[in-house]
Structure 1
């Protein structure tokens, strides 16, 4: 093999290497809990929210995690 191909690279995945905790921290800092609850209708943003409880929920709930990741990608953090 003439080229060294790294199988772990994901050039078409904009979330590659971004931790869910980082995503949540940035979204919370940008929108706050009320803003997140307005944009994504899930209870972990409405009822006694915290980054820790949200991470626990999002790690075991793929549909909710997908919504959070989509919001992160379309948010302009400038």
Structure 2
């Protein structure tokens, strides 16, 4: 547990900390956008829903990169 706490101190300068923050950001983004997709009408095509999820993932990775790599 000490290794995880040490890896997650900001600024992150190791792979384990970056990976842990990426997983946390992706889980939060996945939960938020899966809840949002429940309220999108089913009349929209599957491709549009997939595009919304892709945009959510890209935004999440961008926020993760800005937060962790260049604080």
TM-score (norm 2): 0.29
Higher helix share: 2
TM-score (norm 1): 0.27
